[in-house]
Amino acid sequence: MKIIKVHDFNYTKEVDFKKIQLHLKKRIKLSPISENEVKTCAGVDLAYWEEENQSFGTCSIIVIDYHSKEVIEKVCSVGKINVPYVAGYLAFRELPLIIEAAEKLTVEPDVFLFDGNGFLHYNHIGIATHASFFLNKATIGIAKTYLKIQNHDFIMPENEVGAFSDIIINGTVYGRAVRTMKNVKPVFLSCGNYIDLNSSFEIMMKLINEESRLPIPVRLADLETHRLRKKFKSD
């Protein structure tokens, strides 16, 4: 898969991280896409560990057929993490491994779903949004925990499958708390880029089964990163 080089990753200061995010923010395009346009989709997840005071990470990308839900391709990457963790700028740590894995794809997914946030972010540039500029594909963020912004709490959706409440801060819809399974905690959905919230919701819900509150490709990527972390740590 061809990757667009948007910027380098030799930055380590928060002021540089923020400057890049604010620049990319101007290029976000949230517009609807038709389900007819979606034939394949990919789940993206990362896992980390420490060895001898050095951080390591692995990324898994799993592509499935949107309609049959069958796995078409899976790729991974592994390596040292050289960018320090700074709250709100996690993408700068994760993207090098995501890009390395995505470059191995022979199938170009129509939509990428990330275990993380997109527009639901302090600067609207969570990992799903940030990655979209490199991948040049529609992206969706699905987070397992809520990122509180400006001390704003979300409204818990009704305990029914498909129930949701939009997360609106100062008149802007940042994302959506969604109940994907009854009697299970909601997930936090947000647009990444090149797609709107309703389209993101429809696609995510079509990818939910009884095994998890997460959409199928994200869950598969999550399971794979845990397997890979165990493998690489033992190696």
Binding residues for Mg(2+): 45, 115
CA distances from 31 to 186, 193, 217 (A): 24, 8, 23
Q: By CB neighbour count within 10 A (0-12 exposed, 13-18 middle, 19+ buried), where does 182 fall?
A: exposed
Helices (H), the chain: 14-25, 91-102, 127-135, 197-206, 216-234
Binding residue numbers: 45, 115
Q: By CB neighbour count within 10 A (0-12 exposed, 13-18 middle, 19+ buried), where does 176 fall?
A: buried
CA distance 210 to 228: 25
CA distance 121 to 213: 21
